[in-house]
Amino acid sequence: MGRRAIIAGATGLVGGELVKLLLGMREYEGITVLVRRRINVAHPRLTQLVIDYEKLGELPPELFAETDVYCALGTTMKKAGSKERFERVDYHYPMELGKLAKRAGAASYLLVSSTGADANSKFFYTRVKGRLERDLQSLSLRSLHLFRPSLILGDRGEFRFGESVAAKLSAWMPLLFAGPLGKYKPVHAEAIAGAMAAAALTKGTFERIIPSNRIGSMASLLRK
């Protein structure tokens, strides 16, 4: 019997890569995406659940039992429009998913967090991410992996100046992100998806918190 996966955030950059990756893997017999609107993907192993994220608690617990839960939810302050709305998307929804995963006995919970996540940070963004990591760890989930990418590279369908500059610096001056600066190394969304799948599927012990410069090497485990 194959594995089952749930993906939250399938309309985003990393979530979209997760959908493509998992549908192409024979290990998964079923993938469920939790979406506000249907995505333009059709596959016999894909189930699309159109939901209200404010009502996550109404989802049936059996949906999460023995399932790999991939959480790639996230927004920006610009898109959210307020700190309160940002916190709903980047803290409350992922935390509610974690509680559901705990109650149902999910096989693993894999989260896209952020470089600099720190519950005591003076910066709102990294403080929210840090609080989420801390509170998910307090749930004592069966398997929890927190991925901390720096700038996430990929085709967003929009130009972002900072990401463009970071991508060029990473290619031209790879030593810039060596040593202590490795955690700031930009990483492609495809690599993040691969690292998350590797953590869920590969037997053995992985570190619980994966910095940006470790994501690529973890993703390569899928190709071995």
Give per-residue pLDDT as tens, 21-79.
Answer: 999 999 999 999 999 999 999 999 999 999 999 999 999 999 999 999 999 999 999 99
* CATH code for position 79: 3.40.50.720
What predicted TM-score, i.e. pTM, was given to this entire model?
A: 0.89
Please state the separation of Cα 137 from the chain's center in Å.
15
Burial class, 93, CB count within 10 angstroms (exposed 0-12 / middle 13-18 / buried 19+): buried
Find the helix or strand (DSSP H, E) in which 136 lies.
helix 124-137
Which residues on neighbouring strands pair with residue 5, listed in sequence order?
31, 68
Which residues on neighbouring strands pair with residue 49, listed in sequence order?
34
Give per-residue pLDDT as tens, 74-131.
Answer: 999 999 999 999 999 999 999 999 999 999 999 999 999 999 999 999 999 999 999 9
| Structural domain containing residue 142 | 3-223
pLDDT mean across residues, the chain? 89
Pairing state of beta strands 108-112 and 28-35? unpaired
> Could you say which DSSP state residue 165 is in?
H
Give per-residue pLDDT as tens, 121-137.
Answer: 999 999 999 999 999 99
Number of domains in the chain: 1
Rounded to an integer, the average pLDDT of 176-190 is 72
